[in-house]
Structure 1
Amino acid sequence: MTTIEVNGLRKRFGPSVALDGMTFVVQPGRVTGFVGPNGAGKSTTLRMILGLDRPDAGTATIDGRRYADLPCPMRHAGALLDPHALHPARSGRNHLRWLARSQDLPDSRVDEVLNRSGLAAAGRRAAGGYSLGMRQRLGVAAALLGDPPVLLLDEPFNGLDPAGIVWMRDLLRGLAEDGRSVLVSSHLMSELQDMAGHVVVVGHGRVIADAGVNELIGAYSSLEAAYLDLTAGVGGIR
């Protein structure tokens, strides 16, 4: 039962404060929405959980360990941060094979995640020709390669058509029902209301609200109304 724990993260970029004591826990068995205005610190937090940026203070751990200390880390945590992070001349399948080799995973696992992401027919095409929605699916396939107990996804619905949105929603629900910890950063409150069990609302690099979705709906009538009220007057990096 693996958790993500963010404790007192602080980060400045020059004179700008990006994170100001960011603290929350992502529990297994549910989707946790991670929401806030542009520049509120969401992407910086995700990057610190994955060891891509260093905090000035505080910690971010997966199962009590830093991502950098995890052996074969994609077996512990899968992530979709940038769907464009691929070699455009490499096929989708070979992109995944390259990642799989780095984690000592067999090619059979590549074919499994291609099928699960709906890209089996397009797997041998150059990924540079993929639409944004297809790149999102490829990014999800990469996140699932190691069958990890933790998933972190930044705006996974971007570029998806209506069928793709339904697929993504059902996938994330299913991953949480399997007992995984699923953290989803998104601006689509309607999707999170239908899918997430918990939500962390952030602004100015810190947590504004950390509550169950049903609790917020009960207080505000909808997740969107709760978000708009909680973030009123709250900007991003300052």
Structure 2
Amino acid sequence: MQATIEVKDLRKRFGSTVALDGMTFTVRPGRVTGFVGPNGAGKSTTMRVVLGLDAAESGSALVAGRVYRTLRSPYRHVGALLDAGAVQPSRSARHHLLWQAHSQGLGARRVDEVLDLVGLRQAARRRAGEYSLGMRQRLGLAAALLGDPPVLMLDEPFNGLDPEGMVWIRGLLRSLAAEGRAVLVSSHLMSELQDVAGHVVVVGRGRVVADTGVADLIGRHTTLEEAYLELTRDAVEFRGGPR
């Protein structure tokens, strides 16, 4: 299957609120694509629609060339980290991953491989409820990588990581993209995305306002953060300032 995420003309409302207003973009293999926008811009809703957790009123969302719900053993096609806290706190990290692995026909050996990859092998038998936020992020990444998928969707993966963890995850994301995977990273940390992403999709009010290379944006601005602020100035939910 092709390693892509294809979102085309997604539209969705929550009551009178427009969440998605023609959202359209493609995440291509071999690079990290940043997915950025203000709170309420439609990032989380888009990712949930791609993964079949929410339904759009119109438009389409394909992962690895297919609608998510039609994928057999979906972990083998797409790995996702949407909420690092989505783990039973009384269960050990290893048992948490074993439960997910067995549901996909994967064995204990793969569980141990991903625990090694994210640096949790020594803490694998500790209860997940004892983990710090950074450790839970690593556990969520391990789950996303279980099926060795060609497509990855990660929501705020930098949260809770210490400086060593930041260096580690930048290297991991680059290596995953270098292997030919399509990697979508939603984050508010522009400095981290500037260092790791090759492409960026900027969204506001449920639609794409920029879909371009990071180098191109930086070439017209000093930093990715500066470009982001200019592009989204009319799409923020609220503004703060001196009284």
**TM-score interval (norm. to shorter):** over 0.9
After the TM superposition, which residues 137-148 of structure 1 pair with which residues of structure 2 at under 5 Å, given as runs? 137-148=138-149
Q: Counterparts of 2:114 and 2:123 in 1: how far apart (Å)?
A: 13
Paired position in structure 1 for 2:127? 126
Paired position in structure 1 for 2:241? none
Paired position in structure 1 for 2:40? 39
After the TM superposition, which residues 101-120 of structure 1 pair with which residues of structure 2 at under 5 Å, given as runs? 101-120=102-121
Unmatched 5+ residue regions in structure 1?
none
Q: Counterparts of 2:237 and 2:5 in 1: how far apart (Å)?
A: 23
Paired position in structure 1 for 2:64? 63
Q: Counterparts of 1:135 and 1:213 in 2: how far apart (Å)?
A: 29
**Superposition TM-score, scaled by structure 1 size:** 0.98
Matched, 1:171 2:172: yes
Q: Counterparts of 1:182 and 1:167 in 2: how far apart (Å)?
A: 16
Q: Counterparts of 1:50 and 1:35 in 2: how far apart (Å)?
A: 18
Bigger mean CA offset, 215-224 vs 95-104: 215-224
Deviations 1:105-124 (CA, angstroms, capped at 9, x unpaired): 01000000000000001100
Q: Counterparts of 1:163 and 1:226 in 2: how far apart (Å)?
A: 27
Moved beyond 4 Å, runs of 4+:
none
Deviations 1:16-52 (CA, angstroms, capped at 9, x unpaired): 0000000000000000000000110000001111110
Q: Counterparts of 2:147 and 2:93 in 1: how far apart (Å)?
A: 17
Q: Counterparts of 1:12 and 1:236 in 2: how far apart (Å)?
A: 16
Paired position in structure 2 for 1:216? 217
Unmatched 5+ residue regions in structure 2?
239-243
Q: Counterparts of 1:73 and 1:236 in 2: how far apart (Å)?
A: 35
Kindly provide the amino acid, as one letter, of the partner of residue 167 in structure 1: W
Does the CA-based 8 Å contact 1:176-1:182 persist in structure 2? Answer: yes
Does the CA-based 8 Å contact 1:74-1:143 persist in structure 2? Answer: yes
Q: Counterparts of 2:137 and 2:61 in 1: how far apart (Å)?
A: 25
Matched, 1:91 2:92: yes
Q: CA offset at residue 235 of structure 1?
A: 2.5
RMSD over aligned Cα atoms = 1.0
Does the CA-based 8 Å contact 1:199-1:212 persist in structure 2? Answer: yes
Q: Counterparts of 1:236 and 1:106 in 2: how far apart (Å)?
A: 45
Q: Counterparts of 1:222 and 1:132 in 2: how far apart (Å)?
A: 28
Does the CA-based 8 Å contact 1:204-1:236 persist in structure 2? Answer: no
Paired position in structure 1 for 2:190? 189
Q: CA offset at residue 74 of structure 1?
A: 0.4
Q: CA offset at residue 221 of structure 1?
A: 2.1
Does the CA-based 8 Å contact 1:203-1:236 persist in structure 2? Answer: no
Q: CA offset at residue 225 of structure 1?
A: 0.9
**Superposition TM-score, scaled by structure 2 size:** 0.96
Kindly provide the amino acid, as one letter, of the partner of residue 109 in structure 2: S
Q: Counterparts of 2:228 and 2:12 in 1: how far apart (Å)?
A: 24
Deviations 1:112-140 (CA, angstroms, capped at 9, x unpaired): 00000000011001101111000000000
Q: CA offset at residue 63 of structure 1?
A: 2.1
User: Would you say how many aligned residue pairs link Structure 1 and Structure 2?
Assistant: 237
Does the CA-based 8 Å contact 2:5-2:182 persist in structure 1? Answer: yes
Kindly provide the amino acid, as one letter, of the partner of residue 116 in structure 2: N
Q: CA offset at residue 236 of structure 1?
A: 4.8
Kindly provide the amino acid, as one letter, of the partner of residue 130 in structure 1: Y
